[in-house]
A and B are shown apart, each in its own frame.
Chain A
Amino acid sequence: MTGEKITFLVVAVLTLVFALRVVTTGNLVHAALWLVATLSGIAVVFALLQANFLAVVQVVVYIGAIAILFIFAVMLTRKEMRDRGPQLNQNWWFGALLAVMTFGGLFALLQGWNGLSNTPAAIPSGFDAVSVLGNALVSPDAYVLPFEVASVLLVAALVGAVYVAFNQK
């Protein structure tokens, strides 16, 4: 077992434990903080895969913006920020079903995949993954369309948020 594999296993187990804590914690702010821990675990997995850019973006976007906004939303909408509401509603069985089906589907899919025992090809030295990714995002025969569609969607969301919040005088 290589050091990389050991690190991956430790981080993966920790990430799963943190993810479980997100949904089992009664306190909403604590849940958001556990979510931060989970997302950092995923960032470490990205770093293990040599995807530096994605690892850092994971931290910037998910921890720096989304998790912080979660905490903000909790703080601004709850009167008592330490309240403990019921954790389940009557749709719990549907969620559980969906989770089991997703897990089963992925499990069945990965049964026939032999990539788990392969070692990845070494990245050639001087390979600049960031510039390859950047070029792929704006080149017409790669991802320019999804990239632009996502941008338009985000702009639409922004305009919508401004419209909702705008104070007509």
Chain B
Amino acid sequence: MSFWKDPLKVAADWLMGIFTGWGMPEIAAQILIGLLGVVFLLSALMVLDIGLVWVERKVVSRFQSRIGPNRVGPFGLIQPFADIIKLLIKEDITPQGADKVVYNLAPILSMMSVLVLWAVVPLAPTIAGVDLNVGALYIIATGAIGTLSIIMAGWSSNNKYSLIGAFREVAVLLSFEIPMLTTMLIPTIFAGSMGVLAITQAQDIWFVFKAPLAALIFLIAAIAELGRAPFDMGEAESELVSGYNIEYSGMKFGMFYAGELLHAFTFGGFWAILFFGGYRFFGLEQVSPFLAVAVILFKALIGYWIIMWIKYTLLRIRIDHMLAFNWKFLTPVAFVLLMVTAFMNTFLRGTPTWLYISSMFLSNVLLGWISLEVARSYSRKEREKAEGPKQVIQAHH
């Protein structure tokens, strides 16, 4: 029965027995088992990614009052495979004057930056790649590789649209990294560790109840990091055609597309891990690690669904508004929230749980309200400066 309690360890021990039985030295067997684990995780992710193509297309069509793919297989479930075949047999074009090596490296880096994120995702108490003690920073670091892939794609394509798209996208990514990292520090304060596993284990009460504002800011920053609407300035279909990936065709474009879908799903997962208890759900994770995996995948899908909901509902924000919103609103609010949380956490240490949670919650709500009020009065002042004081409309007729 121990397989149902700790599947990874049992499988690793089993493989170890087989490999050493073949006369392989133990260290080589360990490395081989590690590699097999990585290959298994990555293949599972890629298969999941194929499923996400269907999910995304089906959900967007529902938001747009369409039916979506429904011809190939039941509910159009085979549609992603048709998509893949189409992408594979498309002509592979490299534009004239493109920087070949950089051009071909960019989609790989883009996909890679998403896949390596899963190294730190704890799927269950016993199923996790590595328990890195700097997990939160690691998430940001992989984002840096994604940023790099975008600028490489935009520059190497030798296309003005793609370069403009890359500029905008990178400006957005670099700016929104700051509120994102700041709000990631808030679960770190609560858990006393930057490790993703430790953060999950510290959530006897979901952190969203202690820091609803942080959860909201993290979601907004995550959507911007994903380059999804309303922050899809890098792609901006209606003005830049397709932004930084305009010149890519066939499976190279497919890599960007699949990377984006998996990235969105992954950030749904991180939202769940940081603020919604990760694999924990009323002790269900203690029953079986498989249930824990199901719980975290379900939570990640809900996060992904919310990200899709926002993407297909809101319009694109202008680039200057987007950056002003980040630098003049989101970043200061995130900083103040971090300070308030750190202060309250020290001040309220040792108080009963209900008092601690409710005052944390109230301080978040209060801060959110105050910042909205400040923003409102500021924008009213700006509007008056631009349009003159509000005229009293006189009835002539």
Interface residues of A (CB under 8 A from B): 3, 29-30, 33, 36, 52-53, 56-57, 59-60, 63-65, 67-68, 71-72, 75, 81, 128-130
Complex contacts, A57 vs chain B, CB 8 Å: 137
A68 CA to B166 CA in the complex, in Å? 11
- Is there an interface contact between A65 and B194, defined as CB atoms closer than 8 Å? no
Task: Return B105 CB to nearest CB of chain A, in Å.
Answer: 9
Quick check: which of B140-148, B231-239, B317-325 contacts chain A, the rest being far away? B140-148
Q: Which of A30, A52, A63, A81 makes the CB contact (< 8 A) with B134? A: A52
Complex contacts, B151 vs chain A, CB 8 Å: 68, 71-72
User: Taking CB as reference atom, which chain B residue is nearest A36?
Assistant: B148
Q: How many residues of B contact A (CB 8 A)?
A: 25
Complex contacts, A63 vs chain B, CB 8 Å: 141, 144-145, 148
- Is there an interface contact between A68 and B155, defined as CB atoms closer than 8 Å? no
Q: Please indicate which of the listed interface residues B102, B148, B167 has the most CB atoms of chain A within 10 Å of its own CB.
A: B148
- Is there an interface contact between A33 and B141, defined as CB atoms closer than 8 Å? no
Complex contacts, A75 vs chain B, CB 8 Å: 155, 163, 167
- With known contacts A3-B27, A33-B102, A75-B155, A64–B144 Cβ distance under 8 A: yes
Task: Return A17 CB to nearest CB of chain B, in Å.
Answer: 16
Complex contacts, B49 vs chain A, CB 8 Å: none
- Is there an interface contact between B144 and A60, defined as CB atoms closer than 8 Å? yes
8 A-B contacts (beta carbon < 8 Å): A52-B134, A60-B140, A64-B144, A71-B151, A71-B155, A72-B167, A75-B167, A130-B134
Task: Return A90 CB to nearest CB of chain B, in Å.
Answer: 31
Judge whether B285 is part of the interface by a CB distance below 8 angstroms.
no
A53 CA to B133 CA in the complex, in Å? 8
A20 CA to B168 CA in the complex, in Å? 31
Judge whether B132 is part of the interface by a CB distance below 8 angstroms.
yes
Judge whether B152 is part of the interface by a CB distance below 8 angstroms.
yes
A71 CA to B163 CA in the complex, in Å? 12
- Is there an interface contact between A64 and B141, defined as CB atoms closer than 8 Å? yes
User: Taking CB as reference atom, which chain B residue is nearest A29?
Assistant: B155
Interface residues of B (CB under 8 A from A): 27, 99, 102, 132-134, 137-138, 140-141, 143-145, 147-148, 151-152, 155, 163, 167, 170, 174, 177, 193-194
A53 CA to B140 CA in the complex, in Å? 12
User: Taking CB as reference atom, which chain A residue is nearest B141?
Assistant: A59
Complex contacts, B155 vs chain A, CB 8 Å: 29, 71, 75, 81
| A-B complex: 8 closest residue pairs judged by Cβ atoms | A64-B144, A59-B141, A56-B137, A60-B141, A56-B134, A56-B141, A63-B144, A53-B134
User: Taking CB as reference atom, which chain A residue is nearest B138?
Assistant: A56
Complex contacts, A33 vs chain B, CB 8 Å: 102, 152
A53 CA to B188 CA in the complex, in Å? 14
Task: Return B335 CB to nearest CB of chain A, in Å.
Answer: 13
- With known contacts A3-B27, A56-B141, A75-B155, A128–B133 Cβ distance under 8 A: yes
- Is there an interface contact between A64 and B194, defined as CB atoms closer than 8 Å? no
A68 CA to B174 CA in the complex, in Å? 9
- Is there an interface contact between A53 and B137, defined as CB atoms closer than 8 Å? yes
A71 CA to B174 CA in the complex, in Å? 13
Task: Return B352 CB to nearest CB of chain A, in Å.
Answer: 27
Complex contacts, A53 vs chain B, CB 8 Å: 133-134, 137
Q: Which of A30, A68, A128 makes the CB contact (< 8 A) with B148? A: A68
Task: Return A138 CB to nearest CB of chain B, in Å.
Answer: 12
- Is there an interface contact between B102 and A52, defined as CB atoms closer than 8 Å? no
- Is there an interface contact between A64 and B140, defined as CB atoms closer than 8 Å? yes
Complex contacts, B27 vs chain A, CB 8 Å: 3
